[in-house]
Amino acid sequence: MQRLTHQLDGRPDRFGRFCRGLGIVGAVAALAAPALAPAADVQRRPNIVVILGDDLGFADIGSFGSEINTPNLDNLAKEGVRFANFYTHASCSPTRSILLSGVDTHLNGLGNMSEWTAPNQRGAVGYEGYLNHRVATLPQLLKDSGYHTYMVGKWHLGKQPDRIPRARGFERDFSLLDGAGSYWDMWNFTGASPKSTFTEDGRYLTQLPKDYYATKTYTDKMIGFIDANHGDGKPFFAYVAHQAPHDPYHLPKEWRSRHVGEYDKGWDAIRQERLKRQIELGIMPAGTQLAERMYFLPDPVVLAPASRAILGKKMELYAGMVENLDYHVGRLIDHLKKIGEYDNTIFIVFGDNGAEGTDLFKMIAGSPGTLNYLFAASHWSQTNPNAWGDPGSYVGYGPMWAQVSMTPFSQYKGWTAEGGIRNALIVSGPVVQRPKGSVNHGLMHVGDIMPTLLSIAGASYPKRSAEGQELPALMGKPWNDVLAGRAESPRTERDYLAWEIFGNRAVRQGEWKLRWQFKPYGTGEWELYNVATDPGERMNVAAQNPEKVQALLAVWDGYAKANNVILPTRGPFETLYDQLPVRVPVDEGFPPLIYQRQFVPPADMLAEPKP
């Protein structure tokens, strides 16, 4: 810093050009950072590739216990480290906002998803529904420090010109601005917003490229971005925010039939098989119990074979989505190897939240006679199972398979149970000094990624924004010591994590987790779990530990006050209690009535009726 200041003394015009070129945030970051390294050192800074799966579950990757074939992701796990205690948020845009800002959702603009902003949250700071300008972004800071910054895939953080990827620090982009959509074309889901919005390099697209298929096209575009500047000596940050495997399950025909009949055995059996592999892999400790099957789901054993087959087909399609995603990740990896960049590239791979168990299509389409219902009937009318995967079809796999994706946890996306907020994480590349293929159980969070990558890139987090506003502090803890093998966790027992979305909330400190969820998924009261010994959250021990409940409540209250948490007056689950049956315990084999087989008498005691 002294060296840079000395060089600029007496040269105000040069300093002015320097600041205008970088932007105020970049200038502050540059001045706050150590003296810039020589060009040769800059070249040695690693490339960074963040691969984000949309609704990809904790147990959907082979190296986390899945039967789904994911050789490319598994190879990254073999060459790097897997993290089994990593948390995101419970929904997509909130997680993405934390990833790209390093700041809590209630401060960065995604205190609630834009689609569900409650009446009492409208107009409140931190609830704008897009990534606000009170935060600095990871791509902007990396760009200011000398990185190329590229993005492909789902954005979901704003659509206005000052909110799109180009405006928030990405040099090149090909982005779906909406939260979901067709993989084949621009069709969206509602009558009021029938077309999805895309940008490419900061311009709004009027049509998509020929032969467009989301997962393939995103990969093609990213390879093109990397090649366009390859050889100029600058490292790159590539944010690969895949749409897959978010519903609708659209995929080419050759990817639809790779697991025919495999899932007809039902969700309970697949969960048990995945948990067994997780224990063998060291992902879960021996003795781990599966979370209770969702009480409103049937035991697949009592279903007719045809019902199991049609429900199994949905999971077959989902597995195909994950395998297709892995294939295109492999294409990117192979290209980086071909151009000599793979060995100098850090990969960070994870899913953005728990798997999707809610019927989004039903929620969006609404009631007969409404505009959205008619729109769905006309534009999403391919309901024959033989057409599933084609344009115009909409398939999601439901809560039964979402629980499979989140093995061994309870519940799924949208909820603050472990199944909504815990996910698989893979990190590989030159910064990882832990044993290859190892598993770590340290307490990690998506908010840690920004400080970690800024540190790796030699960039600093500024104190003020481009508009001169003081920036909120970063919420995360850098992973440098963990990745280097000098520590097992970036957190102490006193550090905590906290969540709130749709009114569901939770706080974790050490082994303990306190959560509050709406009925019937929750009790409408604070529940306490030791998630180290009970990751399936089967045993609510709040009554036995009143002092721990009070201690964690104090932590929660401090978090809520510091982060401007406004609990919503309305939400997506407000009628759920009335729609679902009364919650009852799930006990295997109960009631015996429906499991009893036909009685067969001993053969030597059979007789015809007497005349």
Residues with a known catalytic role: 92, 156
Cα–Cα distance for residue pair 354/415, rounded to 1 Å: 8
* Contacts of 407 by beta carbon, 8 Å cutoff, 6+ apart: 57, 58, 59, 65, 271, 274, 275, 278, 290
Amino acid at 72: N
Q: Look up tokens 């001993």; give the residue.
A: 602
Q: How far is CA 226 from CA 40, 203, 221, 238, in A?
A: 20, 19, 9, 8
Assess contact for 518 and 577: CB atoms under 8 A.
yes
Using the 8-state DSSP alphabet, how is residue 140 labeled? H
Per-residue HEC secondary structure of 142-185 comes to: HHHCCCEEEEEEECCCCCCCCCCHHHHCCCEEEEECCCCCCCCC
Three-state DSSP at 599 gives coil
Q: How far apart are the first and last CA of the chain?
A: 110
Q: Look up tokens 């990757």; give the residue.
A: 61
Q: How far is CA 526 from CA 389, 541, 556, in A?
A: 41, 10, 11
Over the Cα atoms of the chain, what is R_g?
Answer: 25
Cα–Cα distance for residue pair 546/85, rounded to 1 Å: 26
- Which candidate, 39, 48, 82, places its Cα nearest to that of 342? 48
- Which candidate, 443, 349, 357, places its Cα nearest to that of 61? 349
Cα–Cα distance for residue pair 106/132, rounded to 1 Å: 11
Three-state DSSP at 215 gives helix
Per DSSP, the residues of 266-280 read -HHHHHHHHHHHHHH
* Contacts of 35 by beta carbon, 8 Å cutoff, 6+ apart: 1, 3, 4
Residue 366's CB is within 10 A of a number of other CB atoms, namely 14
